[in-house]
Amino acid sequence: MITGISYTSKDSPSDKTEAAQMVKMPYREAIGSLMYASVATCPDISFAVSTLSQFLKNPGEGHWEAVKRVFRYLAGTWGHELMYGGEKHTLIGYTDVDGSSQDHRRAITGHTFLIDGVAILGSSKKQELVALSTAKAEYIAATHAAKEGIWLHRLIGELFDTINEPTTLYCDNQAALTLATMDNFHVWTKHIDICYHFIRQEVTSGTFTLIYCPTSDMVTDILTKALPGWKVKEHTAALGLCSACRGVQKCTGILAGMERAEGPE
């Protein structure tokens, strides 16, 4: 998606002529196809799909152009696949939040879990409430990520060997880390619902180890906002999406396609 552009309901058709024109566009079908791709093999488009799916009832021309841009990006990166087996790492997670870029003012939560350096689960969605601070939004995001992590612990234990060591969960907000690891409650955090303190219990019990990760290295940044092309390439590689091509000509075509999808800087 183009950085700096906010897609809202104001971009929806404002007159009958424009509405009649948009009815001819297969917007819902396109979003359905993209949803399948984002869940199955393309976690890098999760934020774009999540954002554009908010306008299924009344899409505008701007929304349709954004959908076509996602398809152009996929056409440019068709040779990229989730490549497992290159590294040997246990389960690790990343959690991130973008607080106020959306018209609905709800934070966008993104989290992903990786095994052997490749994503096995990812999510990009808006939070169910309006957070009063970035720390609270990050804290809530970490709680939801912990719940997913516990489910993965149990699933992996049934399929393979039980994970005995704590799972590392990376977060880029120091205030949220302090709140999750220390009894640091005060007037600015006393309004946080008790259900979100679940993460503190899991950290105390040794299920998770929360570690600070600089925003510049936060893998899930791609799941919370539109990023410039070079950053997208960096984060897709961190998710384990690598080119499966074997020839120079094919690789060159992929890179050229990505540059076309990015458009002018």
Q: How much is the mean pLDDT over the chain?
A: 84
The vertex-97 CA angle with 200 and 129, nearest 5°, equals 75
With cut-offs at 50, 70 and 90, classify the pLDDT of residue 104.
low
Domain boundaries, the chain: 9-80+244-262, 92-220
Give residue-wise pLDDT tens across range 26-75: 999 999 999 999 988 899 999 999 999 999 999 999 999 999 999 999 99
Residue among 238, 69, 205, 224 nearest 141 (CA):
224
Quick one: pLDDT at residue 246? 47
DSSP state of 4: T
Quick one: pLDDT at residue 253? 42
State percent of the chain over pLDDT 70. Answer: 86
Quick one: pLDDT at residue 147? 92
Give residue-wise pLDDT tens across range 140-173: 899 999 999 999 989 988 888 888 889 999 999 9
Given a cut of 80, whether residue 260 has pLDDT beyond it is no
pTM confidence score: 0.80
CA distance 140 to 215: 17
**Domain 92-220 class?**
alpha beta
Quick one: pLDDT at residue 223? 92
- Answer for the pair 225, 215: CB distance below 8 angstroms, yes or no: no
Helices (H), ranges, the chain = 16-23, 27-40, 46-52, 61-76, 134-159, 174-181, 198-204, 229-238, 248-262
